[in-house]
Structure 1
Amino acid sequence: MTAAAPRAGLLLGIDIGTSSAKGVLVRPDGTLVARAQREHTTSTPGPGRFEHDAEGVWWADFRSLARELLAELPAGEPLAGVGVSGIGPCLLPVDERNGPLRPAILYGIDTRAGAELAEQNERYGPDAIIARCGAPLTSQAVGPKLAWLRRHEPTVFEATRRWYMASSYLVHRLTGRYVLDHHSASQCTPLYDLAARTWITERCEEIAPGVEWPELVRPADVVGTVTRQAQERTGIPAGTPPVVAGTVDAWAEAAGVGVADPGDLMLMYGTTMFLVGIVERPLTSPHLWGTAGAFDGTYCLAAGMATSGAVTGWLRDLTGASYERLTGEADRLPPGAEGLVMLPYFAGERTPIFDPDARGLVHGLTLRHGRGHLYRAALEATAYGVRHNLAAMREAGATAERLVAVGGGARTLWTRIVSDVTGRAQHLPRHTIGAAYGDAFLAAVGAGLAVPGDIAHWNPTVEVVTPDGAAAAVYDELYAVYLDLYPATREAAHVLAARQHADGARQDV
């Protein structure tokens, strides 16, 4: 019997980010037909705590975006596939009816599970965790978050039967399936074996007894079709377009900009900065995350800063000036912001220092400095953090030969500063619109309308940002200051963080 030809039509991709959700409609050749966006808020119920309402944010934004984009579907052209992604790793506990029991606990920016993290390090051994799981145990990991839930919210934990991340929750709402992709699972330290590509059953049962674990699949695997109930809520036709498993947003975005071969590295400019480097074999480092890749048989070294665009947003809100005005003022200043260096650890820091109690710092302030100086210092702080993470990747054995810049900060002063500080060129693809485009590409692969190599035609490089050699000496000097500032102020930052935690706990009472 001859196999049926892949169903022609358009691909729907929707991504749930930290501060917004984005969606696209794309043709099987990569042509962008329509795009839409929804802003949402992240709840911060206490210091170091970041949460999302799964129904009010994840599912509500998906439904709204799907309906808006379907209205742009050309007459007579069906949907050929649906792809989703979202922030991760997250923890959303649900009951036996798959109803959320509390807001989802977000990824590494949520640092509440510090005590549980230390206990699991003691229980399983830091080196053994890295060797088996590919990454050190940090605030990013799901294991300590589950233990925190069991200890601090026992009633919720006792009712918990399953748990989801943003992408897997959307897939469940669309198809009824309970699955998780291998990449997302590889960020569930210490519960996933990276080499064996399977759950570590004995640890799962020890840390979260009585909880059912999702079936493991690949991001581009078709896991089902839209149910009749989901059609009523989203407008997507039931039973026709295949739905793929999806993955964490950064990896979907990497897939959508062609970061797929060893030596490729993506810089994702957003609320947080994320780096995804492709390596030919599993590599480990105590300063980075080793993970499974988006496509079968691929591996990554990844890095993530807890804040980047979040700091520029804080400065915008604090000063009342628009991004355009702040960028213009910063652009008129020389490299180095006239002697300011910022540590961007406003929500602690993830890689490469893994310190949830690190804190933001502006060093060198004088009365002559203004908001433009602070804004430029914030952009430069992100660039110093990128340089610090690239150095950690080199030390781990990864070679980042081609840097691809994506996200809302691409094609701006921010990108130029990062190239100047790092001394590295950055390739800008035609589309830098976020993970939703990668979701559509994964859907095309799952539907049989594309293969991974087709992304070069979907999203070619259209611009290369090159470093300004004249700025190198200034940035080399100030990068050394940046590296010195954290160890010099770490103990003081920890004292202040402890007071903040205590003050926050009193406010919660």
Structure 2
Amino acid sequence: MPAELLLGIDVGTYSSKGVLVTSAGEILRQHVVPHTVSFPAPGYAEQDADAVWWADVQAIIKALLSDGFSGEDVAGVALSAIGPTLLPLSSAGRPLRPSILYGVDSRAQAQIGALEAEIGAEAIFAHSGMSLTSQAIGPKIRWLREQEPEVWAQTATLTTASAYLSFRLTGRHIMDHHTASHFMPLYDPAPRQWTPEFAVPVLGDSDLSRLPELGWSDERAGTVTAEAARLTGLREGTPVAVGAVDALSEALSVGVVNPGDLMIMYGSTTFFILVQDTPTPDPRVWTVGGAFAGQHNLAAGMGTTGSLTRWFADEFARDHSTGEAYDTLFAGAATVPPGAEGLLVLPYFSGERTPINDPHARGVFAGMSLTHTRDHLFRAVLEGVGYGIRHNIEAFRDLGADVRRVVAVGGGAKTRTWLQIVSDISGEAQQLPETTVGASYGDAFLAGIAAGVLTRADLASWVRPADMILPTAALKPDYDRLYGLYRDLYAGSRDVLHALQGQNSMGRS
């Protein structure tokens, strides 16, 4: 019997997930492996590529291919992962340090300033279609070169999470165009290739050989090597797709592939992908490549959303297990009136990405009184995220982007209370798909294309809508007023929040 099953794996911020799927989109098996993130210093976020990413992938494949399934059944594999991340590799292809994570890691602010001074902020935007922010990898490469010269001296390849995992399976260094777009200013989105134009300020020379090959997410990166087959149980020679950043695979998993489709991914962070036929560059957001050849995406991302609710549960619901804590908190928040009876939260607990692009922003609880309870505080946290989501959607529309359909995905999208709050605040209806497995499901589809089992047109039979969250019209005036106060709160407290960043080390010896 020929191999016909598809295997998709996504490595997220706090867990990795894999699915085994038929070519018709039927999920046969799922497996999840939790893991942690390291925060070695304020503004730093790191993860170990082998002990976390690769170990998770091996564990997931072995779990999926046990008890009746084997590598002989798998027609294709695709992986996605958090991104963009920066991982330096030796000439032997081994990590030289923990990976520096995406926009939640804001260590390279000095390097952003240096690159803007040397190249020019306007020149960078004109070249890349984006401004330098904590999401950009170019400044982090320069940080590595300046701050860890001993690592830099050994660096033969500069890669990212999904590309590293593809390399571990195939032995080939290749990165998808969407992720490469964030390696600015080393990537030129017009010819869609690496460019030496601004390489010297970033790399110290014009040698681009440290950068991987480029490909589209549904293209074939290679096939499983004998060594990878030995470590995973996959069949040697199994096709492997180029893969993608997790958010892009998540969008694919719910059919966000047509111009005007907007995905809101409720994860540890909240990520937005809007499919476009013509790009609309703007400094507030990110203009990047899509999953398929010729596609454009307008992308955006908040810094702490699901990770904020996790922090709240860990700190203020310690008397419950994790699952019980969330159930209790969301049930309590549902009993609190809209507006949390005068509470307002800025959800910038690790700085904020789009649209304010302020790594020095921090969280604020405003309007607290002795009458407020834990339920009020949690309701205000959920509403704070809702205001941030509205802020990003407004930024898209302000720059002339066409938003026609909003699809909600991710772990947070399983909570009706939160989705209703976001729709009420933003005024946007949110469509819920029938299957919301996540990015790994989109990866399985990419695996099918790379293996020649599927075509892009087959996605229509994989994805079906299930429900729609509609905004409550009667709440619009109150939430419009509170949204204005949310914007004012940040503008009025920004200087204080920035000044407080210098006080982090007070009292430490």
* TM-score of the aligned structures, taking structure 1 as reference length: 0.95
- Separation (CA, whole Å) in 2 of partners of 1:206 and 1:355: 23
Q: Is the 8 A contact 1:67 1:235 kept in 2?
A: yes
Deviation (angstroms), 1:203? 2.4
Conservation of the 8 A alpha-carbon contact between 1:131 and 1:284 = no
Query: 1:86-165 to 2 correspondence within 5 Å?
Result: 86-165=81-160
Instruction: Find the residue that maps to 2:54 and give its secondary structure.
Output: helix
Q: Does residue 302 of structure 2 align to residue 298 of structure 1? A: no
Aligned partners of 2:72 and 2:234 also within 8 Å: no
Question: Given that residues 82 and 443 in structure 1 are in contact (C-alpha distance below 8 angstroms), is that contact kept between their aligned partners in structure 2?
Answer: yes
Cα distance in 2, alignment partners of residues 448 and 235 from structure 1: 21
Among candidates 325, 329, 336, match of residue 326 of structure 1: 329
Deviation at 1:329, TM superposition (A): 0.5
Aligned to 2:351: 348
CA–CA distance in structure 1, aligned partners of residues 191 and 116 of structure 2? 21
User: Equivalent of 1:458, from 462, 478, 489?
Assistant: 462
**3-state SS, counterpart of residue 49 of structure 1:** coil
Counting only pairs closer than 5 Å after superposition, residues 231-310 of structure 1 correspond to structure 2 as 231-239=229-237, 241-310=238-307
Aligned partners of 2:313, 2:119: CA distance in 1, in Å?
44
1:487 to 484, 491, 509: 491
**Are 1:375 and 2:373 counterparts?**
no
Q: Could you say what secondary structure the match of 1:45 adopts?
A: coil
Aligned residue among 23, 36, 51 for 2:18 = 23
Deviation at 1:456, TM superposition (A): 2.1
> Paired residue for 1:3?
none
Q: Which amino acid aligns with 1:338?
A: E
**Pairs within 5 Å for 1:210-225:** 212-225=210-223
Paired amino acid for 1:314? W
2:275 matched to 1:316?
A: no
* Cα contact 2:11–2:17 (8 A) shared by 1: yes
Please, which moves more after superposition, 254-263 or 122-131? Answer: 122-131
Q: Is the 8 A contact 1:9 1:77 kept in 2?
A: no
Q: Distance in 2 between matches of 1:76 and 1:62?
A: 14
Q: Quick one: which of 467, 473, 477 aligns to 2:477?
A: 473
- CA deviations on 1:34-75 (whole Å, 9 max, x unpaired) are 111011000000000000000110000000001001115547
Indicate if the aligned counterparts of 1:10 and 1:77 stay in contact, CA closer than 8 A: no
Answer yes or no: is the 8 Å Cα contact 1:225–1:242 preserved in 2: yes
SS of corresponding position for 2:32: strand
SS at match of 1:393: helix
Aligned counterparts of 1:288 and 1:166: Cα–Cα separation in 2? 22
Could you tell me how far apart the structure 1 residues matched to 2:72 and 2:143 are? 48
Confirm or deny that 1:79 pairs with 2:92. no
**Whole-angstrom CA distance in 2 between matches of 1:199 and 1:76:** 36
The CA deviation at 1:470 is 2.1
Q: Contact conserved, 1:22 with 1:38, CA < 8 A, in 2?
A: yes
User: How far 1:400 sits from its partner (Å)?
Assistant: 1.0
What residue is the counterpart of 2:500 in the other structure? 496
The alignment covers a number of residue pairs equal to 499
Q: Is residue 72–residue 235 contact of structure 2 (8 Å, CA) maintained in 1?
A: no
- For residues 419 and 206 of structure 1, the distance between their equivalents in structure 2, rounded to whole angstroms, comes to 44
Checking the alignment, whether the CA contact within 8 Å between 2:261 and 2:404 is kept in structure 1 is yes
Measure, in 2, the Cα distance between the counterparts of 1:24 and 1:87: 17
Deviation at 1:81, TM superposition (A): 0.5
Asked whether 1:403 is paired with 2:406, we answer: yes
Indicate the percent of aligned positions where both proteins have the same amino acid: 48
2:79 is the alignment partner of 1:70: no
TM-score normalized with structure 2 length:
0.95
Change (3 A) 1:403 1:7: farther
The answer as to whether partners of 1:86 and 1:248 remain within 8 angstroms in 2 is: yes
In the aligned structure 2, how far is the partner of 1:303 from the partner of 1:391? 12
Q: Is the 8 A contact 2:382 2:418 kept in 1?
A: yes
Q: Provide structure 2 residue ranges, at least 5 long, that are not aligned to the other structure.
A: none
Establish whether residue 357 from structure 1 lines up as the match of residue 357 from structure 2. no
Letter in 1 for 2:306: G
Alignment check: 8 A CA contact 2:49 2:95 kept: yes
Contact 2:432 2:466 in 1 (8 A): yes
Query: What does 1:29-68 align with in structure 2 at a 5 Å threshold?
Result: 29-68=24-63
Corresponding letter in the other structure for 1:228: A
Partner-residue secondary structure (3-state), 1:141: coil
Q: Is the CA contact 1:101–1:156 (under 8 Å) kept in the aligned structure 2?
A: yes
**Residue 455 of structure 1 aligns to which amino acid in structure 2?**
L
Amino acid at match of 1:80: A
Deviations 1:197-227 (A, max 9, x none): 0111242354224662111111111111111
447-456 or 156-165: bigger deviation = 447-456
Q: Which moved more, 1:126-135 or 1:162-171?
A: 126-135
1:282 CA displacement: 1.8
Contact in 1 for aligned 2:343/2:380 (Cα 8 Å)? yes
* Partner Cα distance (2:17, 2:176) in 1: 21
1:425 aligns with 2:429: yes
Q: CA deviation at 1:409?
A: 1.0
Match of 1:12 in 2: 7
